[in-house]
Structure 1
Amino acid sequence: MEPLPLVFVRLPRPTLCIDSPDALLNRSRSHGLGAEKPTSEDELSRLQSAFTAENIATSGSLALTAVLPVTQSSVSDLKSRLGDILGYSQYLSDIIVLSPVAVIPRVRRVLLSALASGGHSAHIELTVRPWSTDEEQDSATLRIASQATSPFVLILCENGLDAIDVRSREALMLLEPFSTMLPIGPRGFVLRDSKHICLSSSRTPQLATFLVPPFVIPATFISSFGFNLSREGAYGIWLDLGKCIARTRADSAGGFVVGSGEGLGSWCSNMTEDTALSSQKLPIISNPLLDQKPIELFANKTRNAGVDSTLASGTFLLVFTSLLDLTRFSGVACRWRQDGHKIHAALFVRTDHLKMAVLTGVRQLILEDCNLDYHFLPTQSSGFELASEILTWFNCQPITPDIVVTTISKLVLLDEVFQPKTASQNKRFTVIHLPADDLPYCDWIGSLTPRELENWHKPHIDISVITNDRPHSLARLLTSLSSALYFGDSPDLRVNLEQTADRETSQIVESFKWDKGQVFLHRRVVHGGLLPAVVESWYPHSTDSYGLILEDDVELSPLFYAWAKLALLHYRYGRSEDRSSRMFGISLYQQKNLELRPEGRHPFNARDVFTAAGIDDPSTPYLSQIPCSWGAVYFPEHWREFHAYLSLRLSEYAWDADQVVAPGVRSNKWMRSWKKYFIELAYLRGYVMLYPNFDGYVSLSTNHLEVGSHVKDVPKEVYLRKKRLFLLPLMALPDLLHSNATGLLDLPDHGLPPWDQLPVLDLLGLPASEETLVERGSMRRIELTGCEDTIDTVHDVWDLLCLHDPLFDL
């Protein structure tokens, strides 16, 4: 039904605004909502002064929109009720009559008659809006009120201003100088002893838990809360509105009851919880700006107790500052929805004040994969004011999210904003702050479960660079580090300079700017060589500390960090079935050659191996016993164990230096390589590392095979031929004009497989089971030590080697 086409020119009016009553706040902190009267003349004076004309300043507009619902039974009295409203028209700019469709013809006739009779200001615009019978009256009233363009809205019931005394009418029409920082009206309730008690208005304003129509309210409250309110008990949506407003204030007030008290006693005597409102239906809120199906608000906020969060559906809240941000992140949101999770989205977009009320509402982003409903919440705030506004909105949402994703800086929007709203909600939410520029490259995040994402902030990856006298290689590595995406994380960087580092290398390090985290520079006093340079370059400070070890001839993909974080969250913080103490790290480099076979270097293609082995999807990542030295993340407990193992091995406390530990592998001849000893440990323990397996050897790191400790200076042709064996294509950022798929999810079922579905390869690149590797290591341990005792302590080298730690004798 088209709205009544009556538009009038609005005449200019005085502009007024009212300061916040600080004195009232002080009183409320002392006496709370339960106080019926001020306890002294001074308090009464302070309370009344908060509402007097002295507190009025001339800035802002008091333009008012009245929303009047009519029903089948009340339409006959519509003309007289309009006359009551028009009799107080100084600040009135609009009257919106909310009518059931069947009654609209009668309403139009009444409006035409009222206009023809004159007696009202010509600047008032009258409009008829349809009211669906699927909606409750309070929900429909609030929905229409959200479309008002004036700074204040008068919420009425079908009785209009009937039985409302003159002083209350003047307050409702902004003619009486009450504070307009909160809803004000003559009818309200206060919570006392777990019961809602009706408040009789008096000349002294009273703090109320919530108001019921009629009342006047700042339009910003409706735009902040109006689209997610739920019906609570007998008082419908008004109780929840009052609670939302109360959460934003130190005095926990949802409004003020004002008036003279005349004629209110009978209303209070008839208003009980049983008679206030009888309907218990959930509110259905239609999108006022899009022709779409209404969205039913969520009624139950209770989680499924005792259900594993990796399997149960999760709830995600997305808080962005533009529609572009939501669009860029939509692939992740759609993936989560397809996996059975609930998605809520809110856009706090800076908008011109005059457009705020018109634009506010529930909208829908229509996409190829799914449609996303979102709350469009125009704002004029920024910085901490925006954070406060988001908090106000969040506190009134009927959701308890598991994960909050936002593009607003953690320095502005503190994580504490989204923490439990009540003491009974002891589960803290994880807030993930993503830079807006990183959103197009976040598809991999969609493959993570709520359980994995709840641990987003736990793993801390320390980046450790080892360099000596290759300044150009170092510059290339540092450039690739600076160009990578870190998705809001702040990894620390440690640069380890050898004692023999040249001046140019030192200058590059000293001039390098790292704005992600802290930078540490370490320079050796005595030349140690590559083995101690690598082993001593990093040591974990906690069980959530991970070391990315990089020699300076490595170059990284801009998505290397995403691959590392994806694998860490899945295999270290996900389901218990996907976590294994046998996994010691994550390789960024994709194997193209096998170096450990006795006959020498051997070409390798994991996909060919898996196809020959009959594996269903040969594109799967896999586990290998070979430690990677060309870009890999090492786990804390395994690196500590390696330190202890290396100390015993080099001191010959366990065996002679030339003792072969891992039989049949070429690394036994690498006397100055740290990898030789890590391979030994991996063999004895049955340890494995995760490797990528993308098509065409696309990798997250590559090696440029620069001349150095383990690369000899050879003729150029020989060098280039050898370099081609190790140089891999790096995974690049996608061209967003064609696709935003990063390639990280070119995996079976577009996600990392469960642990028990990962293929396992031994040191020679041959398929084996995890049990086989453990058995091999156990048998070799018996051969070397003669000790057949079961290993009791995980990651304890003394236990592994059947040695007695002399420190226990001290």
Structure 2
Amino acid sequence: AHSIDEVKALGPLLEKFRTTVGKKAYLAVSGGKFCPCEDAASALNWPKVVCKERRFKIFDLEVGAILGVSNSEVPVLQAVYSSMKGLIKIHNPSVVITLADADPNVKKALKMATETNPNGTALVLLPRASISKVLWMADLRSTALPNWNKMRVSVNIITQNRAQSLLRLLRSLSNAYYLGDEIPISFNMDSKVDEETIRVVTTFDWPHGPKTLRRRIIQGGLIRAVSESWYPASDDDFGLLLEDDIEVSPYYYLWIKYALLAYHYDPQISFPELSSISLYTPKIVEVVKERPKWNPTEFFKQIHPHTPYLHQLPCSWGAVFFPKQWREFYVYMNMRFTENAKANPVQIPKSRTNGWQASWKKFLIDMMYLRGYVTLYPNFPNQQSFSTNHMEPGAHIAAKDNVVKHDKTDFEVPLLKDDFRNFLPSQKLPPASKLPSLNLFNIPVSLKGLKAAGAKLGQDVLRCNNVSEIVAVDHQTGLPARCMRF
């Protein structure tokens, strides 16, 4: 912190780290005329004696003393850099956190200092408004924290002629917390896009990252519109796919970031089955003919009423897809696409998806079933979610060949408007090993059991032992490589 104001802003996060078992956190202040140690201690309601103790809570960099009377910017940078470089070398922190609006010279010095650590220390620049929203940072393993800046989540919107719906989605996206991360956004329009929609996407201002517009020359239809809206550029590139009748919670990105750091970027966790993170909590079992209502809070109450859970069903109403499995999906759909759903070689026993026409999701369901992949789902009171579907007429809903009647009340859910951390078991995401898992039909099955069911069906693109093997792929290309024991 370079000022007392910054000390106060960082206070809640500092306190959360310091009161979390297994975590240590220290405050480094510029000292001198910028941020005197005693004043910083007072701002945190700590006794001033902490500035004199051998076991430091506060590191006073004494920048003012080093500078003397000079007001030049260069000595500030040099003083902060040299002091922080030494502290980082001694303490080897996972992260160094400061405010996004801190003095540019201080930020530059911190960037230089963190880059000197060969073990990897992440510099995290948080907007002031986000501090109280990321207290879950302290609950992440120290091994996951250095990966804070590694992921790149892009927002990819599929739209055509629902300009007012699109505006509602864009308002909700604009009102979300992004923690200062760069979030690219793309608009994917089919050839029959209307004038009003074009005006909306052209004039929309997105301050969080680059904006890309794509428009087809020849009408592609929903399968192409969705599946071709995003393709990963690297293994750290994650795609959020949103149709324009979706609306998101202000907390949606925090859920994505927290879940990715907890379950994907922690080197102590191996979780290759996780292929996507849903923003939405389903209210019905959609793959069963009767489509019975379903309430995860009630279903999981013996474990914890609000535990997140794993489900074999991918979500098409707001979900982030992982790069490796998305490449795999591209290849799989290319090998398996048929205009006639009944000609598809994959027929999952008792699944309504077997007859789905013109659905990209049907192919993803098949692949996930055959290879034992799962999606992480939220589970909060009253099925509050990070996204909701307004079920407006489009390529699926109210389509001529869609014989299923859709009741909006079966699909619309309330959006989370409060900090979701308070609902989680022990106010944090449970360990990956504690997440309950469900098969396509909402029946509890272990991750190994899911793979066994896929192997037993034996309808994947390679012939494998249908007791003990599933298809493994080259994750760089998505191409099927071999059979793998599970």
User: Which structure has the higher relative contact order (CA within 8 Å, separation 6+)?
Assistant: 2
Taking the TM superposition and a 5 Å limit, the aligned residue runs for 1:442-591 are 442-576=134-268, 578-591=269-282
Instruction: State the SS of the aligned residue for 2:188.
Output: strand
Q: Deviations over 1:455-480 (max 9, x none)?
A: 11111111100000000111111111
Deviation (angstroms), 1:610: 2.0
Deviation (angstroms), 1:434: 0.6
Instruction: Tell me the equivalent position of 1:365.
Output: 44
Instruction: State the SS of the aligned residue for 2:202.
Output: helix
Deviation (angstroms), 1:598: 2.2
Q: 1:767 aligns with which of 434, 438, 444?
A: 444
Q: 1:419 aligns with which of 114, 127, 133?
A: 114
Deviation (angstroms), 1:365: 1.9
Give, in whole Å, the separation in 2 of the partners of 1:365 and 1:583.
Answer: 41
Give, in whole Å, the separation in 2 of the partners of 1:538 and 1:382.
Answer: 47
Give, in whole Å, the separation in 2 of the partners of 1:776 and 1:646.
Answer: 20
User: Does the Cα contact within 8 Å between 1:596 and 1:666 map onto a contact in 2?
Assistant: yes
Deviation (angstroms), 1:389: 4.3
Q: 2:318 aligns with which of 631, 651, 655?
A: 631
Q: Does 1:732 align with 2:417?
A: yes
Deviation (angstroms), 1:749: 2.2
Q: Which amino acid aligns with 2:12?
A: S
Instruction: Tell me the equivalent position of 1:430.
Output: 122
User: Does the Cα contact within 8 Å between 1:460 and 1:546 map onto a contact in 2?
Assistant: yes
Instruction: Tell me the equivalent position of 1:793.
Output: 472
Instruction: Tell me the equivalent position of 1:343.
Output: 25
Deviation (angstroms), 1:757: 1.0
Q: Which amino acid aligns with 1:528?
A: G
Q: Does 1:609 align with 2:299?
A: yes
Give, in whole Å, the separation in 2 of the partners of 1:382 and 1:435.
Answer: 26
Larger Rg over CA atoms = 1
Structure 1 residues 456 and 503, CA gap change in structure 2 (3 angstroms): same
Instruction: Tell me the equivalent position of 2:432.
Output: 755
Instruction: Tell me the equivalent position of 1:24.
Output: none
Q: Deviations over 1:751-802 (max 9, x none)?
A: 2112221111111111111111110100111699764384463465544799
Structure 1 residues 419 and 358, CA gap change in structure 2 (3 angstroms): closer
Deviation (angstroms), 1:338: 2.5
Instruction: Tell me the equivalent position of 1:167.
Output: none
Matched-pair identity in %: 34
User: Does the Cα contact within 8 Å between 2:309 and 2:378 map onto a contact in 1?
Assistant: yes
Q: 2:359 aligns with which of 669, 673, 689?
A: 673
Task: Show structure 1 runs of 5+ residues with no match.
Answer: 1-318, 734-741, 803-810
Give, in whole Å, the separation in 1 of the partners of 2:410 and 2:263.
Answer: 30
Structure 1 residues 378 and 391, CA gap change in structure 2 (3 angstroms): closer
Give, in whole Å, the separation in 2 of the partners of 1:349 and 1:556.
Answer: 43
User: Does the Cα contact within 8 Å between 2:95 and 2:122 map onto a contact in 1?
Assistant: yes
Q: Which amino acid aligns with 2:271?
A: S
Deviation (angstroms), 1:419: 3.0
Instruction: Tell me the equivalent position of 1:406.
Output: 98
Q: Deviations over 1:303-350 (max 9, x none)?
A: xxxxxxxxxxxxxxxx36444654554245434543222211134589
Deviates more, 1:655-664 or 1:792-801: 792-801
Give, in whole Å, the separation in 2 of the partners of 1:358 and 1:570.
Answer: 34
User: Does the Cα contact within 8 Å between 1:494 and 1:521 map onto a contact in 2?
Assistant: yes
Q: Which amino acid aligns with 1:454?
A: P
Q: 2:307 aligns with which of 587, 606, 620?
A: 620
Instruction: State the SS of the aligned residue for 2:16.
Output: helix
Instruction: State the SS of the aligned residue for 2:44.
Output: strand
Q: Which amino acid aligns with 1:619?
A: H
Structure 1 residues 383 and 547, CA gap change in structure 2 (3 angstroms): farther
User: Does the Cα contact within 8 Å between 1:782 and 1:788 map onto a contact in 2?
Assistant: no
Instruction: State the SS of the aligned residue for 2:420.
Output: coil
Q: Does 1:682 align with 2:368?
A: yes
Instruction: State the SS of the aligned residue for 1:584.
Output: strand
Taking the TM superposition and a 5 Å limit, the aligned residue runs for 1:146-161 are none
Give, in whole Å, the separation in 1 of the partners of 2:471 and 2:410.
Answer: 42
Give, in whole Å, the separation in 2 of the partners of 1:358 and 1:669.
Answer: 69
Instruction: State the SS of the aligned residue for 1:517.
Output: coil
Taking the TM superposition and a 5 Å limit, the aligned residue runs for 1:28-107 are none
Give, in whole Å, the separation in 2 of the partners of 1:680 and 1:467.
Answer: 26
Structure 1 residues 637 and 395, CA gap change in structure 2 (3 angstroms): closer
Q: Which amino acid aligns with 1:706?
A: E
Instruction: State the SS of the aligned residue for 1:586.
Output: strand
Q: Which amino acid aligns with 2:332?
A: Y
Instruction: Tell me the equivalent position of 1:7.
Output: none
Q: 1:700 aligns with which of 386, 394, 405?
A: 386
Structure 1 residues 701 and 544, CA gap change in structure 2 (3 angstroms): same
Instruction: State the SS of the aligned residue for 1:602.
Output: coil
Number of residues of Structure 1 aligned to a counterpart in Structure 2:
456
Q: Which amino acid aligns with 1:535?
A: S
TM-score scaled by length of structure 1: 0.52
TM-score scaled by length of structure 2: 0.84
Instruction: Tell me the equivalent position of 2:286.
Output: 595
Instruction: State the SS of the aligned residue for 2:262.
Output: helix
Q: Which amino acid aligns with 2:136?
A: W
Instruction: State the SS of the aligned residue for 1:451.
Output: coil
User: Does the Cα contact within 8 Å between 2:296 and 2:379 map onto a contact in 1?
Assistant: yes
Instruction: Tell me the equivalent position of 1:19.
Output: none
Q: Deviations over 1:16-40 (max 9, x none)?
A: xxxxxxxxxxxxxxxxxxxxxxxxx
Structure 1 residues 723 and 384, CA gap change in structure 2 (3 angstroms): farther
Instruction: State the SS of the aligned residue for 2:205.
Output: coil
User: Does the Cα contact within 8 Å between 1:463 and 1:548 map onto a contact in 2?
Assistant: yes
Give, in whole Å, the separation in 1 of the partners of 2:94 and 2:464.
Answer: 49
Give, in whole Å, the separation in 2 of the partners of 1:381 and 1:656.
Answer: 76
Instruction: State the SS of the aligned residue for 1:690.
Output: strand
User: Does the Cα contact within 8 Å between 1:467 and 1:497 map onto a contact in 2?
Assistant: yes
Instruction: Tell me the equivalent position of 1:248.
Output: none
Structure 1 residues 636 and 482, CA gap change in structure 2 (3 angstroms): same
Give, in whole Å, the separation in 2 of the partners of 1:440 and 1:394.
Answer: 25
